[in-house]
Amino acid sequence: MTFPNSLTVENLTVSYPNSKEPALQKVTLNVAASSILSIVGASGSGKSTLLRALCGLESPTNGTIKLGDQVLCSSTKFVRPDRRKIGLVSQSGDLFPHLNVFQNLTYGLINWRRADRKTRCKELLEAIGLPNFEKRFPHELSGGQSQRVALARALAPGTSLVLLDEPFCSLDVEVRSRLRSELSSVLKSCSASAILVTHDPHEALAICDRVAVLRSGEIQQYSTPFEMVASPSNDFIGQFVLQKNILPIQYKDDSYSTCIGKLRLPADTSISSRSVCTFDRNAIHIEFSSNDFFTVISKEYRINHYVYTVASGSIKLKSEMSLDTSLSIGDKCKVEAIHDQNFLVLPENIKSKF
Ligand code: ADP
Ligand code: MG
């Protein structure tokens, strides 16, 4: 069933001239009405390309984009950006510096009566918690206030979908987390849905209904945050998004064996020669041991614990240890599993099903 303003993207592929690999490959996803989808991926993974294709600033090589029942882009159709009713908010908000907040907010409402523009502006300023800011100029706003005004401007014409391209990344941690948690209620008050692009996995999982992970232009997993945490579809999701450890695991001599020892896993755990297991930083314990094969390569202070990185050959593991741990960089150590049940074996080479 298609909701009036749900977005449907099927097999979207975008190739830039002079590039060997497409910047986006067969991306398929759906944003239900009044919901938030997060897109997370490292720099260069295709996040901005996806947003630009959705609002009509790039021409896809293949695939379809539909908003509600309207086809915005297919092999036979291309709706111009200004006719798509999709708003875009960039990293810096891009407010017009010579226009005040009222003029910025109502910039796209040229066909509206002045009284209606005033009412809409007042409504939006209430929604973003900046009543009476009409006459301020962009240089008189803080970074967080500018981003709120940029969001309101994107929503002003009654937009049903806004695309947010790393909108909080230049803000300090506190403002960033406040704006993030306000976003859902602002969107709800305007009956809009959003795609929030970020390179920060915590931000991606924090407020969205669904999350899509992009890597080299391909979606690796598309699910609810809860599903992603409970069953990451591959080691990239485990390591990059969930910040977990990854270790090869084998089944031999009737037991599950890793380079940090044997694990007691449920007997029906399915495993192959290329399986890996994933586990949290607090699922292992490290201890000084002069003749062991792991070496401490970094030690970071985190308010109430240390994060140690230990390495052996190509294997690197992170361990959260209490502040009374006295290991130093260069020390040899042994690594032990604390709770076997916290180790999850991942299926190999599996991408998310849609
Ligand atoms: P992200 O926003 O995730 O950092 P982008 O969508 O900007 O990634 O870029 C994805 C890939 O496409 C990168 O390899 C980038 O170099 C390339 N790319 C982006 N824009 C262009 C362009 N206008 N022309 C050619 N290649 C581009
Ligand atoms: Mg980008």
Residue position matching structure tokens 């947010």:
164
Which is nearest to 9 in space by CA: 57, 52, 82, 71?
71
Query: Is residue 305 helix, strand or coil?
Result: strand
> Helix H segments across the chain?
47-54, 101-105, 114-127, 143-155, 173-189, 201-207, 225-230, 235-236
Query: Is residue 96 helix, strand or coil?
Result: coil
Inter-residue contact 37 to 24 (CB < 8 Å): no
Cβ of 198 less than 6 Å from ligand 1? no
Cβ of 52 less than 6 Å from ligand 1? no
Write the pLDDT tens digit of every residue in 298-323. 999 999 999 999 999 999 999 999 99
Write the pLDDT tens digit of every residue in 150-181. 999 999 998 989 999 999 888 888 888 888 88
Query: Ligand 1: which atom is nearest the Cα of residue 42?
Result: 3
Question: Residue 222 gets which letter from DSSP?
Answer: E
What is the Cα–Cα distance from 141 to 13, expressed in whole angstroms? 39
Cβ of 41 less than 6 Å from ligand 1? yes
pLDDT band at 341 (very low <50, low <70, confident <90, very high): low
Q: Which residues, listed in sequence order, are joined to residue 193 by a DSSP beta bridge?
A: 161
Query: Is residue 140 helix, strand or coil?
Result: helix
252 is written with which tokens?
């031999």
**Plot region of 140 (φ>0 → left; ψ -120 to 50 → alpha; else → beta):** alpha
Q: Which residues, listed in sequence order, are joined to residue 206 by a DSSP beta bridge?
A: none
Whole-prediction pTM:
0.89
What is the Cα–Cα distance from 346 to 354, expressed in whole angstroms? 18
Q: What is the pLDDT of residue 264?
A: 87
Query: Hey, what domains does the chain have and what are their CATH numbers?
Result: 7-236 (3.40.50.300), 244-346 (2.40.50.140)
State in Å: Cα 48 to ligand 2 middle.
Answer: 4
Write the pLDDT tens digit of every residue in 50-106. 999 999 999 999 999 999 999 999 999 999 998 998 999 988 878 999 999 999 999
Cβ of 46 less than 6 Å from ligand 1? yes
What is the Cα–Cα distance from 30 to 12, expressed in whole angstroms? 12
Which is nearest to 283 in space by CA: 331, 235, 232, 336?
336
